[in-house]
């Protein structure tokens, strides 16, 4: 079994700038300024490539999956013997803890690192095995597009040799609120309750206010 690297266990949590994902731009609260900074983040980090879901549907990464949503993103592959099964089990528990919000205003995306072997059918079986419900999609696509996403989203090791070895891939989760431009990361092997707490860091303001009453 590939070793679980230290970077898989300890990652930036609750920080507005997390491994290449931008925080909200400060100092410009105007509508035009907010829209412009949102557009810059989109152009830099969310290429609008076409992916295929485990349900057999095509989806554009930004327009269909990211825009106007709270999202949780990880990268995995079906025959992984390292961190993937544990992280997927954690996400299954996160899905239950978040309840009806998954598929309504929070969405989970697991993107394969091995699109050559993780076909739609393979991912469908994997999703079924782990109890993925509405709002949790497993995604594949063209290898070059997946590589672009991996790099844009910051799932990259600074050591090129380690980075080439998919069995040592980063086991972090990216989470964010796209319209509010709030983004962060946490280890996928955190306790599910801690992952949920991290995700809710980027929740809608009205939900945060209600939880404090």
Exposed, middle or buried: residue 192 (CB in 10 Å: 0-12, 13-18, 19+)? middle
3-class secondary-structure state, position 126: helix
- The DSSP call for residue 21 is B
Q: Tens digit of pLDDT for each residue in 93-151?
A: 999 999 999 999 999 999 999 999 999 999 999 999 999 999 999 999 999 999 999 99
Q: For the chain, which residues make up each domain, given as ranges?
A: 6-211
Q: pTM to 2 decimals?
A: 0.86
Q: Which residues contact 145 (CB under 8 A, 6 or more apart)?
A: 47, 49, 50, 51
Q: Cα dihedral sign for 111, 71, 53, 93?
A: positive
Q: Tens digit of pLDDT for each residue in 81-105?
A: 889 999 999 999 999 999 999 999 9
The fold for domain 6-211 equals Glutaredoxin (3.40.30)
Q: How far is CA 41 from CA 63, 151, 182, 206, in A?
A: 14, 14, 11, 24
Cα 156 to the center of its chain, rounded Å = 14
């Amino acid at each position: 079994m590939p070793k679980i690297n230290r970077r898989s266990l300890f990652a930036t949590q609750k920080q507005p700038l997390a491994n290449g994902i931008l925080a909200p731009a400060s100092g410009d609260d105007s509508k035009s300024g907010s829209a412009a900074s949102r557009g810059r983040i989109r152009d830099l980090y969310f290429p609008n490539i076409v992916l295929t879901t485990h349900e057999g549907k095509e989806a554009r990464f930004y327009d269909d999956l990211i825009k106007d949503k709270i999202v949780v993103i990880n990268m995995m592959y079906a025959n992984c013997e390292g961190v993937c099964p544990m992280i997927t089990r954690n996400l299954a528990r996160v899905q239950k803890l978040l309840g009806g919000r998954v598929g309504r205003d929070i969405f989970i995306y697991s993107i394969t690192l091995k699109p050559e072997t993780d076909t739609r059918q393979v991912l469908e079986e994997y999703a079924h095995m782990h109890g993925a419900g509405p709002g949790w999609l497993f995604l594949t696509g063209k290898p070059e597009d997946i590589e672009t996403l991996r790099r844009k989203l910051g799932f990259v090791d600074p050591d090129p040799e380690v980075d080439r070895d998919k069995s040592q891939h980063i086991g972090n989760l990216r989470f964010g609120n796209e319209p509010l431009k709030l983004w962060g990361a946490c280890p996928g092997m955190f306790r599910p309750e801690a992952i949920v707490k991290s995700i809710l860091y980027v929740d809608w303001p009205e939900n945060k206010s209600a939880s404090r009453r």
